Amino acid sequence: MCLIVFLLLVSALVPAAAATENDCIYYFHGADCDHCAPAEAQIKELQIKYPELNIQKYEVYQNFKNARLLQQYFDAHAIPEKAQGIPAVFLPGSYLVGSTPIVNLLDGRIKENIDPSCPELDPAPWVGVVGEKAAHDVLKTLTFVGVTSSAVSDSFNPGMLALLLILLSLIALIKDEVTMIKRTVSFILASFFTYLLIGVGILARFTEPTAYVIFYKVIGIAALVVGIIRTRTFIQTWQIWRENVTGKTEKWLVNSRKYFISVWGVVLLGFFSSLLTSARLSKVFFIIQSLLVEGEFRAAAVPLMLYYSVLLVLPLIVIVSLLHLMRERQKDFAAKRTENFSSDVQRAKWKRHNHLIFQVVVNSLMMIVGLVLLFV
Assigned domain for 288 exists: yes
Please check the confidence at residue 6 and state whether its pLDDT lies above 50. Answer: no
Burial class (CB in 10 A: 0-12, 13-18, 19+), 158: buried
Of 111, 137, 163, the residue at which a domain comes to its end is 137
Residues 113 and 159 in one domain: no
Mean pLDDT of 142-170: 89
Of 116, 137, 158, the residue at which a domain comes to its end is 137
Q: Which residues contact 337 (CB under 8 A, 6 or more apart)?
A: 350
Q: Which residue has the higher pLDDT, 220 or 350?
A: 220
Burial class (CB in 10 A: 0-12, 13-18, 19+), 182: middle
Assigned domain for 14 exists: no
Q: Which long-range contacts (CB under 8 A, 24 or more apart) does 349-357 make?
A: 354/330, 355/175, 356/233, 356/234, 357/234, 357/330
Residues 127 and 184 in one domain: no
Assigned domain for 256 exists: yes
Residues 219 and 93 in one domain: no
Read off the pTM.
0.74
Residues 192 and 55 in one domain: no
What pLDDT score was predicted for residue 314?
Answer: 94
Output the CA torsion sign for 92, 96, 102, 106. negative
Residues 131 and 152 in one domain: no
pLDDT per residue as tens digits for the range 15-64: 444 457 788 999 999 887 878 899 999 999 999 999 888 999 999 988 88
What pLDDT score was predicted for residue 331?
Answer: 72
Q: How far, in whole angstroms, is CA 39 from its chain's centroid?
A: 26
Q: How far, in whole angstroms, is CA 244 from its chain's centroid?
A: 44
pLDDT per residue as tens digits for the range 280-294: 888 889 888 888 877
Order of strands across the sheet that contains 54-59: 54-59, 24-29, 88-91, 94-97, 127-130
CATH number of the CATH domain containing 119? 3.40.30.10
Residues 132 and 159 in one domain: no
Residues 197 and 271 in one domain: yes
Assigned domain for 345 exists: yes
pLDDT per residue as tens digits for the range 322-347: 888 887 777 777 666 666 666 666 66
Q: Which residues of 62-93 are buried (b: 16+ CB within 10 A; e: fewer)?
A: bebebbeebeebbebbebeeebbbbbbbbbbb
Residues 237 and 222 in one domain: yes
Residues 313 and 165 in one domain: yes
Q: Which residues of 165-177 are buried (b: 16+ CB within 10 A; e: fewer)?
A: bbbbbbbbbbeee
What pLDDT score was predicted for residue 348?
Answer: 65
Assigned domain for 9 exists: no
Of 109, 137, 165, the residue at which a domain comes to its end is 137
Burial class (CB in 10 A: 0-12, 13-18, 19+), 199: buried
- Top mean pLDDT of 164-168, 184-188, 252-256 is at 184-188
Assigned domain for 10 exists: no
Q: Which residue has the higher pLDDT, 200 or 18?
A: 200
What pLDDT score was predicted for residue 91?
Answer: 92
Residue range(s) defining the domain that contains residue 95: 19-137
Mean pLDDT of 165-182: 82
Assigned domain for 11 exists: no
Q: Which residues contact 272 (CB under 8 A, 6 or more apart)?
A: none
Assigned domain for 5 exists: no
Domain count, the chain: 2
